[in-house]
Chains A and B, each alone.
Chain A
């Protein structure tokens, strides 16, 4: 696999992970977490673990983002810390 692509994907994973922690808006954090999961899915696929990539795409990026959004909808959108 081309190492430049892996490097870019890894950088996006790092940025999304730090951004999801740092962002004050919880809805934005949920979306960033979904993007993080998609990038992790790409990484699994690059490493040849296609089953894990599939699970990550459906569970991590799909359902858990929806559940986060539903929880944010029912609680508050801002965080204090």
Chain B
């Protein structure tokens, strides 16, 4: 049976590699992909949208529908993850662990007994994973704000350099996940609660679809940003550039919230109390 599997894999692999011989050579100007639409974009993107990065213009303007439904796919992934993993019934844990901060002692408190008196000296810690490292905490305190500023730069500067909503949103989500890893899941919930994440997740898709709908109300086609010139008070070319920024912001918000939600549900197995 194992030999049969290897034979099948090798057979199909060699057929696939044989098929790549028919491909045009890499960078061939006469390849079918670079004959029809690519020259149109390369020649006209700058004068039609005033966006130097052609990839961003194609993604968010010429192929706006595609990117909108990519965002909706990511949104659906978060919803599916919540439906599959989230445990809504709260189960009180058998015992809780606390750390006495001045001495570093760990206290285990069985169920039925009260938690330590409400003072600043105790903090609750996880049963399985108990990191307390000054270097990690200080390091993440340094990295998190810098990476968040970088993420905002990536979103806002996507017109001129590589990047855009997806990448910036992922970096923004990664900074929140880094905060959750370096402290714990509960202190991350105080900054970015599940409700807020779900709300932002929908808000991003709403901003994208709403920008498209606004174009209809202004008397143009769906996602034709040149109609926004009536609202923004600029010419149609600059309006398309601003429209791209608006939808990229929506994509960034949505992707950030989705990444955080996926991490929350995976790391705590849907219970949202203890986790990595």
**A interface vs B, CB < 8 Å?**
47, 50-51, 53-55, 58-59, 62-63, 66-67, 69-71, 73-74
Contacts and interface: CB of A to CB of B under 8 A. Distances in A.
B269 A59 contact: no
Contacts of B269: 74
B263 A54 contact: no
Contacts of B129: 73
Interface residues of B, number: 25
A47 B25 CA distance: 13
B259 A63 contact: yes
B259 A70 contact: no
26 contacts: A47-B26, A50-B162, A51-B162, A51-B164, A54-B162, A54-B167, A55-B167, A58-B170, A58-B171, A59-B167, A59-B170, A62-B170, A62-B171, A62-B174, A63-B174, A63-B177, A66-B174, A66-B177, A66-B263, A67-B262, A67-B266, A70-B267, A70-B275, A71-B266, A73-B129, A73-B267
A55 B166 contact: yes
A58 B26 contact: no
A42 to B, nearest CB: 14
A74 B263 CA distance: 12
Contacts of A73: 129, 267, 276
Given A70-B266, A73-B267, A73-B276, 6 more contacts: A51-B56, A55-B166, A66-B177, A66-B181, A66-B263, A70-B275
B173 interface: yes
A64 B266 CA distance: 12
B175 to A, nearest CB: 11
A8 to B, nearest CB: 18
Contact of B166 (A59, A69, A70): A59
B216 to A, nearest CB: 29
Contacts of B259: 63
Interface string B53-78: 10110000000000000000000000
A48 to B, nearest CB: 8
Contacts of B177: 63, 66
Contacts of B202: none
A63 B162 CA distance: 19
A50 B164 CA distance: 12
Contacts of B262: 67
B52 interface: no
B163 interface: yes
A70 B270 CA distance: 12
Q: Which 8 A-B pairs have the closest CB atoms?
A: A70-B267, A70-B266, A50-B162, A58-B170, A51-B55, A51-B162, A74-B269, A54-B162
A51 B267 contact: no
